[in-house]
Amino acid sequence: MSHSVPAEVDEDIAQNVVVQPENDDPLQIKLLALNFDYLLYKISDHVNALSQDTYTAIHGQQGEFDELDLPVLDASMEHILKVLLPKLCELEANLMAIGQVSDIAKLFRERILTLEQSMKKQKRR
């Protein structure tokens, strides 16, 4: 059974994975770790895109505020709140998820190391 690394995976992630014969990794833990790292990469990429969209929208509106009168400014502010507030809430939720994923990743790595040590001990017997 052959697995390939998705094309979008950062080269650093792909280089850190050591390809081993399937009998050395029957549970395909290395592939699982690669997929997990790829998921973290994609989440981080999505959060960065949301952050950039928010930054662009704020700075795009900021230049217009200097030239507007107060009623127009109020209308623009209301529009920004309607558009940006959901994006900011989504960004906050994603940042919280990344924090949780980080905790999960630490536990996952600990379990992987324990499993690898257990498998090495069984091979020696």
pLDDT value, residue 5: 45
pLDDT value, residue 4: 44
**CA 113, CA 117: separation in Å to the nearest integer?**
6
For the record, the structure tokens of 93 come out as 């939720």
Q: Is 124 exposed, middle or buried (0-12, 13-18, 19+ CB in 10 A)?
A: exposed
**CA 47, CA 52: separation in Å to the nearest integer?**
9
* pLDDT tens figures, 52-97: 988 888 877 776 655 656 777 788 888 888 888 888 888 888 888 8
State how far the alpha carbon of 21 is from the alpha carbons of 2, 28, 45, 77, 113, in Å.
Answer: 10, 10, 32, 59, 19
* Strand (E) or helix (H) holding 80: helix 70-124
Backbone angles phi, psi at 54, to 5 degrees: -65, -45
Q: What is the mean pLDDT of the chain?
A: 77
Q: Which residues contact 116 (CB under 8 A, 6 or more apart)?
A: 29
pLDDT value, residue 2: 39
pLDDT value, residue 45: 92
Provide the residue ranges of all domains of the chain, joining segments of one domain with +. Answer: 86-113
Can you give the pTM of this predicted structure? 0.40
